[in-house]
Amino acid sequence: MDNQKDKLFSISELAHEFGISTRTIRYYEEVGLISSQRDKETQPRTYTSRDRARLKLALRGKRFGFSLAEIKEMLDLYDIDPTEKEQLRRSIELGDKRIAEIDEMIRELQQTKQEMLEFRERFMEILMKKEGRE
């Protein structure tokens, strides 16, 4: 019976599944987001279902703009607190911070867009005058 929870994954399987390089996976291992298993240094790296799940969450966290340190903190809290309450609290706190950052970026982009539209309008007026189409 093949139990998905007990399945081991190769580095290339995970890289292919998530569309990332094996180098990225090794880096995530180096910073402690995931950990491989090997009997000997010459054996290929294998990863557990837990590592696969952590990798999936790490990639989602990166897509949302969290730093690797923040992602590691959130993931590690799961191991510390089996009730998951602290992990959820910290995730909400970091998520709120990220939402505020995104809101600020949106305000800055809207301001930049407005300035560009104003310059465009001025340039159009100058161009029309130069072409004699006032």
pLDDT of residue 3: 61
Environment class of residue 112 by beta-carbon count within 10 Å: exposed (0-12), middle (13-18) or buried (19+)? exposed
CATH fold of 8-80? Multidrug-efflux Transporter Regulator; Chain: A; Domain 2 (1.10.1660)
Identify the CA nearest to 59 among candidates 46, 50, 68, 47: 68
Mean pLDDT (the chain) is: 92
Check pLDDT > 80 for residue 134.
Answer: no
Domain boundaries, the chain: 8-80, 82-134
pLDDT of residue 119: 98
pLDDT of residue 1: 46
Q: What percent of the chain has pLDDT above 70?
A: 96
pLDDT of residue 4: 63
Strands 9-10 and 46-47: antiparallel
42-91 pLDDT, tens per residue?
A: 788 899 999 999 999 999 999 999 999 999 999 999 888 889 999 999 99
